[in-house]
Every structure is written in C-alpha cells, then in structure tokens.
Chain A
Amino acid sequence: MRKAIVFGAAALAIVGAGAASFAEPVNDELVIDGETKIITRAKAPEGSPFEEVTSGWLYRTKETRALEADSFENPGMLYVERGEEIWNMAAGAAGKSCAECHGDASESMKGVGAHYPKWNAEAGKPFNLELQINACREANMKAEPYKFDAPDQKALVTYIKNQSLGTPVAIDLDAGEMRAWWEKGKEAYYTRMGQLNLSCASCHEQNNGKYIRADHLSQGNTNGFPTYRLKQANMVSLHNRFRGCIRDTRAAQPKAFSDVLMALEVYVAWRGTGLSVETPAVRQ
C-alpha cells in the first residue's frame, strides 16, 4: 500500500492505518511477590476518551516489568524503608512524629493514597499527599514544610502510597470544587504548548502504544508515583514528571504544586481511575 503514489488526505489515511498494529501494550499480569494482584487494565471511567485504561507498566520491557514484580529487586523499596523511618521519627518544635498522631501506617494509611488528590476545604483547593504532609508538619509538628522533591518528602510519600499497593485509584470529584479543578486540568491537558506545539494528549492519547525515539508511549497515568526511574536512578515525583514532559515540548515549566499542575494532577488521576496504586512503580 505504501508503494502507491498518494498525496494529501489519502496519504494520511493510509499512514494512520499502518502504524497502529505495532507495539501495543503487552498482555501480562502483574502480581507483586506472587501475592498482591495489581489491576493494570480497567474499564475507563465515563467520559474518558479510552475504553480501557492501561498502566504504564504494560509498556515497559520484560526486564523492567520483572523488577517491579519483585519487591526485593525493586530499587524503589529502599525509599519505602526510608519513609517508614521518617514516619516514626520526631521532628519540629512540637517534638512529634507522624506515628504519634496516626499510629501504625499499615492500618491508618491503608488505601488512603489511592484517593488523592483530595479536596481540602481549609485551603480551598485540592491537596496531594505532599501538600497534606506539609500541612501536618506546619500545624501539628511545628516543623518546616519540605521543599519540593526533598529526598525525605519523596520517601515519605512513597511510603504512604505504598500502603495502598493494589488498591484501585478513585478520587472524589463531588467534594468541594473538585469538578472545576478537573475542568481546568482537562483544558491544560489538551492545550498545545511550547515550541514543539504538543499537548499531553498529542503523546499520551493520540499516540500511546507508539514509540517516540526509544520511548514507548503509555497513557501517562499517575498510579505508579512516586516512580523509580532507571534512567535517573532515583525516585521521581509526579510533579517532577509533569515538569519533564512539559520541558520536552519546550514550554516554560510551571512550578511544582502550582494551580495548573494541581489541576492536571486531579484530571490525570481521574483518567487512571480503577488502576491499582503501584507505588513504587519501576519505569525507564
């Protein structure tokens, strides 16, 4: 078919049909340590552009997938361990630890991370775990808020999210003004930006399953964050990932936890409704 000499619209139709069959997400099951079954494919929420939402895990190589399936091999588990230490460590002028108020995280934090971001009435905006932790540090521990991407912030968020391993992502859009934030996030998601003139949808909706140079494009879901990235040999927070994708379009990077990135977090988390929390996921 490619051999025909075609112009304009006809060429596009052929091109579109040709590329799609190649490099779809794999058919594989993720069961961590042979115990915790992870939902990597789920029926998309109503209003989603997809029929099925898929985890980024399905787009990674066999070797990377295997790392996430075995918690002894998963380098992100070191951050879970560090997070547990911080959980139990007193900090700030009040001399309190997280554990002092919240007790055993394996009980008090079970499933909690799957429902973030969450409406915070006092602040009048959605909170992610990072903002919630900082609010606790300031109000209850009389401690400094963490700076964005401080190693302790990433470790603590990783630890808390890990208490929801396997729980499906479900955020409450009926609370407060969550729907308005969702709308704002959706608008940002479809806005073409930067010198390269791409939106989130250009890569993660129109082209998921395809390769952009060496990278196999996923739907760009948030269920694995913070994520261990082999390329960076480090934990990567969600807002760091958002900023990286935005930088790649050659657009100005919004600040972490700015309104636009919080709105994107609400909207993109919703797009991945039903996928299990995988934190710490392992990605390239």
Chain B
Amino acid sequence: MRVQMKNAVAGLAVSSVLLGSGIALAGTMAPDAVRIEDMELSQPLTDTAGDPARGREVFAARKLGNCLACHANKDLSNELFHGDVGPSLDGVAGRWSPAQLRAIVVNSKTVLGEATVMPGFYSLDVGADVAEEFAGKTILSAQDVEDVVAYLTTLKQD
C-alpha cells in the first residue's frame, strides 16, 4: 500500500486520503506528533529516505510545493516565473543543516519566526476558516517533505 500510494498522483490527493481517513501509516509521523526543538527536526518524518529527484518535482509543481511562487532557484531556471517574496534558495544547503531545513519546511514559523509569510507544509497550525477540502490536512505529505528536504540539501552552489 505504501509504495502504491507513494507513486500515485502524489501530494495533496494522497495526503488528503490518508489524513482524511485517519489512517496512520506505520513509520510515518503524524503532523501533530512532530516536535521541533531549537529550530531543528532531526528525525525524518518517514522511514523511506528522501528522493532528491522527486523533491525537485514537488518543489516546482504548482499543486504541490509551489516553492517557486516565492523563491528563485537557479537549478530550476528552465521553469518560468520565480517569485521573490522569499530569498533565493541557491546555496541554501550551506546556510542551514538538513535538520533545520526539515524544520523550516514542516513549520516555517518555528525557525523563521511567527511573522513569516511562508506556509508550514506539514503543520496543522494554519489560518482561520480553512476551506472544507483542505481542513485537517497538510499541504504536503510526509514523504513529499522528506523528498523536498533531500532536494534542498543538494542546493550547495550560491
């Protein structure tokens, strides 16, 4: 089931099904069980190591991470329209450790501060009046986050 899910359309649809039906996958940390301490989350959210190639896709896809909405990234210069609401992520692996990068993607506020506009991608600490289709769900699945974090650790070049 795990493998099948992982390879399915991915992201929103998948995480919705899982979270929505309340099935906790063995080896997957539920969003409300995550503990970020001192701006770090060293424990991976799943026991499948992150795949940087898939993380690159999640990063760019508008329906998944859509990280390019706010961040420029030279490695994806073939994609049009990089936003500049956040800093460029070139060289980000040199600025933050993998445990810090995971904490930022899971719940940006715990590292970047309460006022940040960056969404928390695996957090239920969300805004008011969430639309029904997204209520109780995270933006990315646990595996999506692991994949994105694996990808971020490859961004070494300024």
0/1 per residue, A191-228, Cβ < 8 Å to B?
A: 11111111100110011001111100100000000000
Question: B86 touching A15 by the CB < 8 A rule?
Answer: yes
The B97-141 residues at the A interface (CB cut-off 8 A) are: 100, 111-113, 117, 119-120, 125-132, 134, 137, 139
- Which chain B positions have C-beta within 8 A of A3? 91, 158
Question: B95 touching A193 by the CB < 8 A rule?
Answer: no
Question: A195 touching B85 by the CB < 8 A rule?
Answer: no
Q: A11-B95, A213-B68, A213-B69 are in contact. Are A195 and B80 (CB under 8 A)?
A: no
Nearest-neighbour CB distance to chain A for B58, whole angstroms, equals 16
Return the chain B residue nearest A254 by Cβ.
B129
Q: Which of B66, B70, B84 contacts A23 (CB 8 A)?
A: B84
- Which chain A positions have C-beta within 8 A of B91? 2-3
What does DSSP make chain B's interface, helix, strand, loop or mixed?
loop
Nearest-neighbour CB distance to chain B for A111, whole angstroms, equals 37
B20 at interface, CB cutoff 8 A: no
In the bound complex, CA of A11 to CA of B80 (Å): 26
Question: A195 touching B127 by the CB < 8 A rule?
Answer: yes
Q: A22-B84, A250-B131, A252-B131 are in contact. Are A197 and B119 (CB under 8 A)?
A: yes
Nearest-neighbour CB distance to chain B for A207, whole angstroms, equals 5
How many Cβ-Cβ contacts under 8 Å join chain A to chain B? 105
Q: A2-B88, A191-B128 are in contact. Are A7 and B139 (CB under 8 A)?
A: no
A contact residues, total (Cβ < 8 Å): 38
A175 at interface, CB cutoff 8 A: no
Q: Which of B69, B96, B126 contacts A195 (CB 8 A)?
A: B126
0/1 per residue, A1-41, Cβ < 8 Å to B?
A: 01101111001100100110011000000000000000000
Question: B83 touching A213 by the CB < 8 A rule?
Answer: yes
Nearest-neighbour CB distance to chain A for B17, whole angstroms, equals 16
In the bound complex, CA of A193 to CA of B80 (Å): 28
A251 at interface, CB cutoff 8 A: yes
Question: A252 touching B86 by the CB < 8 A rule?
Answer: no
Question: A202 touching B117 by the CB < 8 A rule?
Answer: yes
Question: B129 touching A193 by the CB < 8 A rule?
Answer: yes
The interface of chain A, by Cβ under 8 A from chain B, is 2-3, 5-8, 11-12, 15, 18-19, 22-23, 191-199, 202-203, 206-207, 210-214, 217, 247, 249-253
17 A-B residue pairs with CB within 8 Å:
A2-B87, A3-B158, A12-B113, A15-B87, A194-B128, A194-B134, A195-B119, A196-B139, A198-B119, A198-B127, A203-B117, A211-B82, A211-B83, A212-B83, A213-B69, A250-B131, A251-B129
Q: A193-B127, A195-B134 are in contact. List 8 more A-B contacts (CB 8 A).
A: A19-B85, A194-B131, A195-B139, A197-B119, A213-B69, A213-B82, A249-B127, A250-B130
